[in-house]
Chains A and B, each alone.
Chain A
C-alpha cells in the first residue's frame, strides 16, 4: 500500500516501534515546561500513529505540537525503543508545509531566506573590521546569530583568534540555511553554492565555525559535500581552540551548558570542557550535562514560533546554574547564549558568555597593570 504522506514511507517502522513507555517525559524540554503530554515525543508519536492509521489527517490542528519541538534529541538519546523523534518530526514538517499547514513563523523563515542572506532579513552585514575573502589558512564562518545578534561575542572571538596569531579570513558569507531542513523546507542550494565558492576561493584548508549548527550542516548535509571532497576540514571553534595554551586562569566558579547541536548532535562534549578546565579549575557540572543536557529552548524554530515557551525553557536551564552556585555560565553556541541571556532575570547574578568571550575578557584583564 502506498503511503499517503512521504514521512510515512520513511518512518512508519520507527513510529510503530514507539512503545508509549513515556520515558521521554523526563527529558523533553517542552514537556518539562508545559507539563502537557501532547507536546512530548510520545504525544507526537501517538498523533502520527493516528495519521498512519488514517483516523486523522495532517492538518492545522496538529501544528501546535508538530512545530513545537526544539529538535534537541534528548528523547532520542534515551528512547528504549530506539526511536528518533526529531528526525521524524523534521520529515513530517515537510509534509505539513506541502499541504499548506505550517506555522507562520516557519513559513516566514523560508521566505526571508529567499530574498535575504540571513535569517533575520537584515540588509547590511555587520562589519567586524576584518579582512574578507583574502587568502588564508583558515576561514572563520560566523553564522547568522553571531553576525546579527551576538556581535560582541563574535568580536571577542576574532580578537582571541588575533591574539593567538591564527591565519584566518572572514568571507562574505550567507546563511548556511541548514535550519530550513528543521522547519519543513530544504537547504537553499544557491546559498550553499555561494558559501562553498567563497570558502574555496580563499585556499583555506580549514573552516572554523562559530556556530555549532553551521558546523553540523557543513559536515553532514550532502549540499555541502564538495567541502569534504576538496579535503577541507570543518571544525567548530571549541575543537580548534582546545590545543592552544591560553596561559590565563580564573578562580571563579564556572559551569558549562552543552549546546544540543554540538553535544547530542555531534558528540562533542569533552573538547569544550578541556579548554574550560584549563582556565577555570573551579569548574562544576550542571545537573543535566553532556548527553542529558537540557535544551536552552531556542532550537528547531521554536524561538521564532513559540517565543514565550522558548524563554520558559531557558529559565528552567538557568535554574540549574543557580542550583550549583556558578558565577559564570559558558557555552559554545551563540544561539544558546542569546536565548539564555534573554531569559536571565535580574536577581540571577551569574554571567553568561561564550567560552571565547570569557577567555578574551580574562586575557584583557590579565594584560592590565
Chain B
C-alpha cells in the first residue's frame, strides 16, 4: 500500500484504528471457506462519515475495499482476493432503537445476531432468520448474504425482514432506502437489491429490521425412514398440508453413520431421519399441528416416531441434527459446506444424487438440511494437503452444481456466491441475467472497488 494512502486512511480513522501488522493481515486473509488472500491493511471505522471518506478515497485511488463482519462466510465472500483494505465493521455494534409498537429494530451493521436476540427477548420478540452461526455472525453480514437458517420454511430469510438501509455508495454518497413502515411501494425496491449483494454495491451503516412476536410454546418430534423417498413424500405432504412447522430438518444416512463412528450416540442408520418442530401460543395449538404431522409420517411408513414431552426430551431429539456439524468438522482437515436448494419435491432425488456422487468420487459427503424449504447442506470433507483428493472434490462439486440446476434448483439458498460458486454462476444465470447484474454493478461501482472478484461480476 502506498504510504500516502495509508496516511490518508490514518487521517480518517486515527492511527489506532488502522493496522497493517502481519498478525492482522493473516487474520483477515480468510473466512470460514477454503479461500485465502491477505489484504494490504484493515481499518476499524466507527462512523458513517469515516466510511464515506474511505470509499471516496478508494474510488479516487482505485483500491479494493472489503466490508467484513464476523467473517463466517462459507463461500469466500469476505476474502480479499485482490488485496485492498478490509473494513471491519464489528465495532459499529450499537442497537440504535427497538420500537416494539412499530415492530422494528434499528441496528448498526456490527451488531451480533445473538445480541439482538437477547435485547428482544424481554419484549417477547425475536428476529426470525436464524443462521447456525448466530452467536457470532453480524447483522450486516446477514443482510449482505441474505442469510437464512432453520426457521426458513415458516419465517423466510433475512430479505423478508429488512425494511430499510443506510448505505454508503462507492463514491462516498450516503443512500437511504426503504422506510420504517410495514408497507411501502414508493419507488424501486432498492432495499431488496442490496440484500444479498455480498458487499459489491455499497456498505451498510444502518439497518432497519422488522421483528416478530415470539410464539412461546413449541413441540418437537423425530421420525426415521428406512427408505429415503418415503421421507421425501412425507416432507412434501407436510409442506402442503396447511401446517407450517418452524423447523423441518433432515439428517441423511451418511451423516448418521459418521456420527455413530465418532460418538457413542448409537443412532439408527436409516436412510433419513427427520426432526420437526412446531410453534404457537398454546399447547393445544401445537398438539394439533404435531398430531397432523405425525399422522403424515405414519402414512409414509416412518419406522419410528418419537414425540418430546419435556424440554429435555426435545433437546435429545435434536442431538443427531445438532451434533452433525461438529462431527463433520472432525472427519477431515477441510470442509466444503454447500447450501444448494431444490424445489421441495426434488429433495429425495437430490439426496440420491449426492450419495451417488460420494460413491463415484470416493468421497464422504454427509448431508443435513432444511427440507422444509428444499435447502440442503452436503458437506464435502477432505484432506486439502492431498492434491489428488482435492481434484476429486472439485470434479464432484462441479457435477453437483450441474445436477442441481438440471433439477430446477439453485446454487445457493443462504450462503451466497462469493468466490466458491462464482465459476458456476453461468450454470444458473444466462447471458441476459449476467448482463443485467454486471450493468447494475457498473452503475453503482464503476471502478469496481467494492469486494472485487465476487459473484462472477467481472466476466
CB of B31 closer than 8 Å to a CB of A: yes
Most buried by A among B22, B26, B32, B93: B26
Which residues in B have their C-beta under 8 angstroms from that of A23? 133, 135-136
B32 touches which one: A19, A26, A62 (CB < 8 A)? A19
Question: Could you say which residues of chain B place their CB within 8 Å of the CB of A36?
Answer: 24, 27
B21 at the interface (CB under 8 A from A): yes
Let me know if B24 and A82 touch, CB within 8 A.
no
Contacts of A25 in B (CB 8 A): 70, 136
Chain A min CB distance to B73 (Å): 9
Encode contact with B along A25-42: 1 for CB under 8 Å, 0 otherwise: 110000000011110001
> Which residues of chain A (35-66) have a CB below 8 Å from chain B?
35-38, 42-43, 46-47, 50, 56, 61-62, 64-65
Please state if A37 and B72 are interface contacts (CB–CB under 8 Å).
Answer: no
Given contacts A17-B333, A61-B23, A62-B23, contact A80 B136 (CB under 8 A): no
Contacts of A62 in B (CB 8 A): 22-23
- Across-interface contacts of A46 in B (CB, < 8 A): 26-27, 29-30
Residue tally, chain A, CB below 8 Å to B: 26
Distance A65 CA – B27 CA, assembled complex (angstroms) = 11
Contact A22:B72 (CB < 8 A) given known A16-B333, A80-B326: yes
CA distance A62 to B325 in the complex (A): 31
A250 at the interface (CB under 8 A from B): no
Which single residue of chain A is at the shortest CB-CB distance from B91? A35
Inter-subunit contact B133/A37 (CB<8 Å): no
Is B28 close to A, CB under 8 A? yes
CA distance A251 to B151 in the complex (A): 43
Say if the beta carbon of A348 comes within 8 Å of chain B: no
Q: In the complex, are the beta carbons of A37 and B88 less than 8 A apart?
A: yes
B416 CB–A CB distance under 8 Å: no
In the complex, whether A349 has a CB less than 8 A from a CB of chain B is no
**B90 an interface residue at 8 Å Cβ cutoff?**
yes
A21 in contact (CB, < 8 A): yes
Measured CB to CB, the nearest residue on chain A to B72 is A22
- Residues from chain B with a CB closer than 8 A to the CB of A65 are 23
Q: How far is the CB of B374 from chain A (nearest CB, A)?
A: 24
A211: shortest Cβ distance to chain B, in Å?
A: 32
Which residues 188-204 of A sit at the B interface, judged by CB distance below 8 A?
A: none
- In the complex, whether A114 has a CB less than 8 A from a CB of chain B is no
CB interface residues, B 327-348, toward A, < 8 Å:
329-330, 333-335
Which of chain A's residues have a CB closer than 8 A to the CB of B133? 21-23
Q: Is the CB of B28 within 8 A of A22?
A: no
- Bound-state CA distance A16–B335 (Å) is 11
Q: Closest Cβ of chain B: how far from A63's Cβ, in Å?
A: 9
Check A38–B24 contact: CB distance below 8 A: yes
B98 near A: Cβ within 8 Å?
A: no
Q: Are B70 and A22 in contact (CB under 8 A)?
A: yes
Restricting to B296-335, which residues have a CB under 8 Å from any CB of A? 325-326, 329-330, 333-335
| Nearest residue, chain B, Cβ from A42 | B27
Q: Which of A20, A81, A82 contacts B30 (CB 8 A)?
A: A20
Identify which of B29, B33, B325 gathers the most chain A CB atoms within 10 Å of its CB. B325
Report how far A19 CA is from B380 CA in the complex, Å.
Answer: 13
Residues of A within 8 A of B170 (CB): none
Which residues of chain A are within 8 angstroms of B329 by Cβ–Cβ distance?
17, 19, 21, 80-82
Q: What residues of B have a CB within 8 angstroms of the CB of A43 in the complex? A: 23, 26-27
Any chain A CB within 8 A of the CB of B184?
Answer: no
CA separation between A16 and B381, bound complex, in Å? 13
CB of A32 to closest CB in B, whole Å:
11
B70 touching A47 by the CB < 8 A rule?
no
Tell me if A38 and B27 are in contact (CB < 8 A).
yes
Are A37 and B136 closer than 8 Å at their CB atoms?
no
Residues of B within 8 A of A22 (CB): 31-32, 70-72, 133, 136
Task: Considering the complex, give the chain B residue whose CB is closest to the CB of A56.
Answer: B22
Alpha-carbon distance between A38 and B333 when the two chains are bound, in angstroms: 21
- In the complex, given contacts A20-B32, A37-B71, what are 19 additional A-B residue pairs having Cβ atoms less than 8 angstroms apart? A16-B333, A19-B334, A19-B335, A20-B31, A21-B133, A21-B329, A22-B31, A22-B32, A22-B71, A22-B133, A26-B112, A26-B114, A38-B27, A46-B29, A47-B23, A47-B26, A64-B21, A65-B23, A81-B330
11 of the cross-chain contacts (CB-CB < 8 Å) are A17-B333, A19-B335, A20-B31, A25-B136, A26-B112, A38-B24, A38-B27, A47-B23, A62-B22, A82-B326, A82-B329
A residues sitting closer than 8 Å to B (CB atoms) are: 16-17, 19-23, 25-26, 35-38, 42-43, 46-47, 50, 56, 61-62, 64-65, 80-82
Q: Which 3 A-B pairs have the closest CB atoms?
A: A43-B27, A38-B27, A26-B135
